[in-house]
Amino acid sequence: MVSFDRPEKGFKQFNQRAKTPGGFYLPNAVKQRQFNTASGKAEITVNPLNPIQLEGDQLLLQTFRSHDQFNTTIYGTNDRYRGIKNERRVLFMNTEDMQARSLVAEQPVDITSHFEGETRTAELFLVIPYDTPQGCAAAYYPEANVLVPIASQAAHSGTPTSKSVVVTVCPHRSAGTPDQRH
């Protein structure tokens, strides 16, 4: 068993306190307005935005979790937050972006990412109309992880840029619209 009896404030006898009916509170420096800074105040930093310039029919893709997912552990195929049932290979798109590409709801598509001359493709995702800003799209991870360029990382943390992947979308090469598949 991992022991959480650390000497830091609020963690003494953590394992025993975790069994207390109703739980307990850990100290929260922000709530108590205590900051471990030279000024004793919260210090906010502002970073410049570096907008990604999209070309032609490109979209900016973010990957995210479904309702029943913790990190990459998937507990089911339903996402009650977004109304998805029994499916994970979906691409959420703005309806105007769908129309501009002649795509219809639930049409199978292939998604291709573009980064420094390198492309990666994820096949057979179903297009889902979604209230997302025009020029943006979203898909679940880990299903869309293949689209995230390995060399594209955040400047300071080195984490993959899974929230800003430049992609293009086209109908799946062997499928038509949903009506044509039946």
In this predicted model, what pLDDT tens digit does every residue of 153-180 receive, in sequence order? 888 888 899 999 999 999 998 755 454 4
The pTM score is 0.73
Residue 73 falls inside a structural domain: yes
Residue 35 falls inside a structural domain: no
Number of domains the chain contains: 1
End-to-end CA distance of the chain: 54
- Where residue 57 falls among pLDDT bands split at 50, 70, 90? very high
- Where residue 124 falls among pLDDT bands split at 50, 70, 90? very high
Residue 92 falls inside a structural domain: yes
Task: Read off the CATH number of the domain in which 172 is found.
Answer: 2.40.40.20
- Where residue 4 falls among pLDDT bands split at 50, 70, 90? very low
Two structure tokens written together for 160: 């993959």
Two structure tokens written together for 138: 């979203």
Residue 105 falls inside a structural domain: yes
On whether the CB atoms of residues 162 and 103 are closer than 8 A, the answer is: no
Residue 50 falls inside a structural domain: no
Query: Which domain does 117 fall in, by range?
Result: 59-181
| pLDDT (average), residues 14-40 | 82
Two structure tokens written together for 5: 């009896």
On whether the CB atoms of residues 86 and 77 are closer than 8 A, the answer is: yes
Residue 5 has pLDDT above 50, yes or no: no
Residue 28 falls inside a structural domain: no
